[in-house]
């Protein structure tokens, strides 16, 4: 092999060594950028989603490229939604109860969406009783709690959601501050095996599939 060929081979070998070092770095940077663009990592604050999510528990919010359904758990920016929230980009975690065009009411703790009984099997019977969930419809809630917008609504307005926390007794949610505009919603929450058990995981990730499969003890 002549000198030119040897030099060419050495150059190829050198470039290959650089590439074997560089491609994992580029892959890692690319994954971080993709995750930052599509996935929002947050820790649960407070007890409002117990028993399915606990204070301090890490969760992932998939920024709107994952569909949102009734029964989905979502993250949203509460600033400008909840009058009590004085901090920009304060993230709340709640469950979607009603979507655009839905009527929502509670009778003795039983929830009805479009007059259809929905399942609340993801929480205990005491959490879904009259004392903790209440008797109301959207219009009565707006009058009772003086919602700052959408007063006297009979249905969830266009481009909005009605949300509630699973721990009804302590949750500050749409019952008190009204509807959540979809442009405040970051996306649905997903949890994984590392930080939850199978039942709680399904109650967060998959419950929307069984939203109208109401149990007799609801």
- Is residue 61 included in any domain, yes or no? yes
Q: Which two structure tokens, joined as six digits, stand for 140?
A: 């009565």
My answer on whether 167 and 146 are in the same domain is: yes
pLDDT tens figures, 57-85: 988 888 767 789 999 999 999 999 999 99
Domains: count for the chain: 2
Q: What is the per-residue pLDDT for 33?
A: 47
Residue 133: CATH number of its domain: 2.10.109.10
In a domain, 216, yes or no: no
* Predicted confidence (pLDDT) per residue in 146-173, tens digit: 886 656 678 999 999 999 999 999 999 9
pLDDT of residue 31: 46
pLDDT in the model for residue 154: 85
Q: What is the residue range of 16's domain?
A: 1-38
**Are residues 110 and 31 located together in one domain of the fold?**
no
Answer for the pair 53, 191: CB distance below 8 angstroms, yes or no. yes
Note whether 101 and 161 are same-domain residues. yes
Residues 127 and 161 in one domain: yes
Strands (E), the chain: 39-43, 58-62, 73-77, 91-98, 104-107, 110-113, 116-117, 136-137, 160-164, 180-181, 185-190
Measured distance between the N- and C-terminal CA atoms of the chain, rounded to whole angstroms: 83
Q: Which residues of the chain have pLDDT under 50?
A: 27, 29-33
31 and 106 both lie in a single domain: no
Residues 31 and 69 in one domain: no
Clarify whether residues 34 and 74 are in a common domain.
no
Identify which of 76, 66, 59, 58 has the alpha carbon closest to the alpha carbon of residue 38: 66
Question: Do residues 101 and 138 share a domain?
Answer: yes
pLDDT score of 205: 92
pLDDT at 36: 52
- Residue 21: inside a domain, yes or no? yes
pLDDT at 146: 84
pTM for the full predicted model: 0.81
Interatomic CA distance for residues 54 and 40, integer angstroms? 18
Residue 121 lies in a domain: yes
Does one domain contain both 87 and 21?
no
217 falls within a domain:
no
- Which pLDDT belongs to residue 129? 86
User: Are residue 89 and residue 29 in the same domain, yes or no?
Assistant: no
Residue 194 lies in a domain: yes
What confidence score (pLDDT) does residue 25 get?
56
């Amino acid at each position: 092999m002549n000198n030119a060929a040897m030099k060419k081979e050495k150059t190829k070998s050198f470039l290959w060594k650089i590439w074997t070092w560089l491609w994992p770095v580029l892959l890692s940077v690319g994954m971080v950028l993709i995750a930052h663009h599509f996935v929002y990592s947050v820790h649960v604050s407070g007890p409002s989603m117990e028993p399915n999510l606990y204070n301090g528990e890490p969760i992932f919010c998939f920024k709107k490229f994952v569909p949102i359904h009734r029964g989905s758990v979502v993250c949203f920016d509460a600033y400008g939604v909840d009058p009590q929230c004085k901090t920009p980009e304060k993230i709340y975690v709640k469950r979607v109860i009603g979507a655009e065009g839905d009527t929502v009411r509670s009778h003795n703790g039983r929830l009805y969406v479009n007059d259809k009984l929905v399942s609340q099997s993801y929480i205990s019977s005491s959490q879904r009783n009259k004392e903790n969930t209440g008797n109301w419809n959207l219009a009565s809630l707006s009058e009772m709690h003086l919602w700052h917008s959408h007063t006297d609504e009979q249905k969830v307005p266009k481009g909005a959601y009605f949300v509630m926390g699973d721990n009804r007794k302590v949750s500050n949610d749409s019952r008190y501050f009204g509807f959540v505009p979809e442009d405040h919603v970051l996306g649905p929450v997903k949890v994984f095996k590392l930080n939850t058990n199978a039942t709680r995981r399904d109650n967060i990730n998959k419950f929307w599939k069984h939203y109208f499969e109401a149990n007799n003890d609801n």
